[in-house]
C-alpha cells in the first residue's frame, strides 16, 4: 500500500484562468519562477483540452526541454542494453522513439497504435485512480507532458513525460506486456470496493511499474519505473528480491519517494502472465478480499485491515 509522498504535484486552476502547479519544497524547480510558469502552461493545455473533440494538445518544447530528453535518452541507452529484459528491448526497438527531441503524444500514438493498438492522451498531473485504470482497459494511457527540471536531468521526484513514454510506451509496444496492462485496467471495471481497487493498483506497482524478471540466470528489469530512472535501474540488483506473491505484492507498504527496497521477480514472461496476468484477468471483489485475508493470516498486514 502507498504510504508516503505525493506522486504528482497538485494543480490548481484559478478564476483568472491561470494554472498553478504546487511543487514540493524539495523539488529541484521549486524556486525557479520560469519553470513554475512553464509547468502551469503545460498543465493548462491539458486542463482545457476537449477530449473526444480535439487532437491531443501539441506542446512547443524548448531547446532546453529537448536537451533534457536527449540527455536522459543517451544516458539510459547503455543501461537498457545491459539491464533491461529482452522483452522490453525488443519492444523499444519496434517503437523506435526519437532520442533527439521530445515526441508529441500524438507521435507516440502514431508509432504505438499499429503495434499493440494503444494510444496516448494528456493529463495535467494526477488522474483519479479509477479513471486511469478504466482508460488502461480501453488501451489508452494518460500521460503528463512536462519534463523534469533541467538542473537535475537524471532525477525527477514525480512522473514526467520521460517516465510515461520511455518507461511505459516502450513497455506497451510489447504485445504481451501490453495485454497484462490492459487486463489490469479491465479489472477495475469489475471492482466495486476501494480496497479491491487499491490491491490491484498495488500489484500493478510491483509488476508493471517496478517489476523484474529473469532472463535465464540473469535478473533484468521490465518495470517502467525502473527503466525510466537513471538511478533506480542501477540499484535494483542490490535490492531484496522476492518471488512473485500476490498477497505480498497487494499489501506491502511502499514509499514512492525512495528507491524501492523490495521488488518481485518473475521467472519468465510466461510466469508473469500466469501469475500477474491471470490475476488481473480474473480478480473480482471476493477474490481481492480473499487475498487480503490471506495476507492478514500470514502476518503481512493487520487482521483488522482484512
pLDDT band at 302 (very low <50, low <70, confident <90, very high): low
- Nearest 5°: the CA angle 55, 92, 198 is 70
CATH number for the domain whose boundaries are 4-298: 1.10.800.10
Q: Tell whether 149 is in a known binding site.
A: no
**What is the reported pTM?**
0.93
Greater confidence, 231 or 141?
A: 141
Catalytic residues: 163, 168, 209, 228
Range 134-139 average pLDDT: 98
Could you tell me whether strands 254-255 and 262-266 are parallel, antiparallel, or unpaired per DSSP bridges?
Answer: unpaired
Name which of 186, 166, 111, 109 is nearest 141 in CA terms: 109
Separation between Cα atoms, residue 131 and residue 126, nearest integer Å: 10
Say what the pLDDT of residue 132 is: 96
Separation between Cα atoms, residue 83 and residue 76, nearest integer Å: 10
Q: Which three cell numbers stand for residue 116?
A: 499493440
Task: Give residue limits of the domains in the chain.
Answer: 4-298
Say what the pLDDT of residue 145 is: 98
Say what the pLDDT of residue 181 is: 98
CA distances from 119 to 105, 111, 116, 182 (A): 8, 9, 9, 12
Other CB atoms within 10 Å distance of the CB of residue 12: 11
Say what the pLDDT of residue 6 is: 53
Q: Tell whether 163 is in a known binding site.
A: yes
Range 101-130 average pLDDT: 96
Contacts 24+ apart (CB under 8 A), 213-220: 213/85, 213/87, 213/265, 213/266, 213/267, 213/268, 213/269, 213/271, 213/272, 214/265, 214/266, 214/267, 214/268, 215/85, 215/86, 219/265, 220/83, 220/84, 220/85, 220/86, 220/88
- Helices (H), ranges, the chain: 33-47, 63-83, 86-95, 105-116, 129-137, 161, 168-172, 175-188, 194-204, 224-227, 246-249, 269-272, 278-282, 285-297
Name which of 145, 296, 276 is nearest 223 in CA terms: 276
Q: Exposed, middle or buried: residue 215 (CB in 10 Å: 0-12, 13-18, 19+)?
A: middle
Q: Do residues 123 and 144 touch, judged by C-beta distance below 8 A? A: yes
pLDDT of 146-205, one tens digit each? Answer: 999 999 998 888 999 999 999 999 999 999 999 999 999 999 999 999 999 999 999 999
Could you tell me whether strands 218-221 and 262-266 are parallel, antiparallel, or unpaired per DSSP bridges?
Answer: unpaired
Query: Please, what's the largest Cα pairwise distance for the chain?
Result: 59
Name which of 191, 205, 214 is nearest 289 in CA terms: 191
Amino acid at each position: 500500500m502507498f504510504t508516503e509522498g505525493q506522486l504528482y504535484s497538485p494543480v490548481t486552476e484559478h478564476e483568472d484562468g491561470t494554472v498553478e502547479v504546487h511543487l514540493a519544497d524539495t523539488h529541484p524547480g521549486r524556486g525557479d519562477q520560469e519553470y513554475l510558469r512553464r509547468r502551469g502552461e503545460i498543465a493548462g493545455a491539458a486542463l482545457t483540452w476537449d477530449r473526444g473533440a480535439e487532437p491531443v494538445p501539441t506542446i512547443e518544447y524548448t531547446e532546453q526541454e529537448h536537451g533534457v530528453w536527449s540527455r536522459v535518452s543517451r544516458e539510459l541507452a547503455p543501461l537498457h542494453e545491459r539491464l533491461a529484459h529482452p522483452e522490453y528491448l525488443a519492444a523499444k526497438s519496434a517503437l523506435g522513439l526519437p532520442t533527439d527531441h521530445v515526441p508529441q503524444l500524438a507521435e507516440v500514438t502514431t508509432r504505438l497504435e499499429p503495434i499493440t493498438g494503444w494510444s496516448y492522451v494528456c493529463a495535467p498531473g494526477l488522474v483519479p485512480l479509477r479513471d486511469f485504470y478504466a482508460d488502461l482497459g480501453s488501451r489508452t494511457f494518460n500521460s503528463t507532458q512536462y519534463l523534469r527540471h533541467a538542473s537535475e536531468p537524471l532525477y525527477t521526484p514525480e512522473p514526467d513525460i520521460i517516465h510515461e513514454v520511455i518507461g511505459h510506451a516502450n513497455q506497451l509496444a510489447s504485445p504481451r506486456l501490453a495485454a497484462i496492462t490492459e487486463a489490469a485496467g479491465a479489472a477495475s471495471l469489475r471492482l466495486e470496493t476501494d480496497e479491491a481497487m487499491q490491491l490491484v493498483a498495488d500489484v500493478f506497482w510491483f509488476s508493471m511499474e517496478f517489476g523484474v524478471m529473469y532472463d535465464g540466470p540473469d535478473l533484468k528489469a521490465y518495470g517502467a519505473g525502473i527503466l525510466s530512472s537513471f538511478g533506480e535501474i542501477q540499484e535494483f540488483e542490490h535490492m531484496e528480491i522476492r518471488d512473485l506473491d500476490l498477497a505480498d505484492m497487494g499489501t506491502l507498504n511502499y514509499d514512492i519517494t525512495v528507491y524501492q527496497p523490495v521488488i518481485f521477480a518473475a521467472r519468465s514472461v510466461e510466469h508473469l502472465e500466469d501469475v500477474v496476468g491471470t490475476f488481473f484477468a480474473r480478480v473480482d471483489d471476493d477474490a481481492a478480499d480473499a487475498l487480503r485475508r490471506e495476507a492478514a493470516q500470514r502476518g503481512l498486514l493487520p487482521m483488522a485491515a482484512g
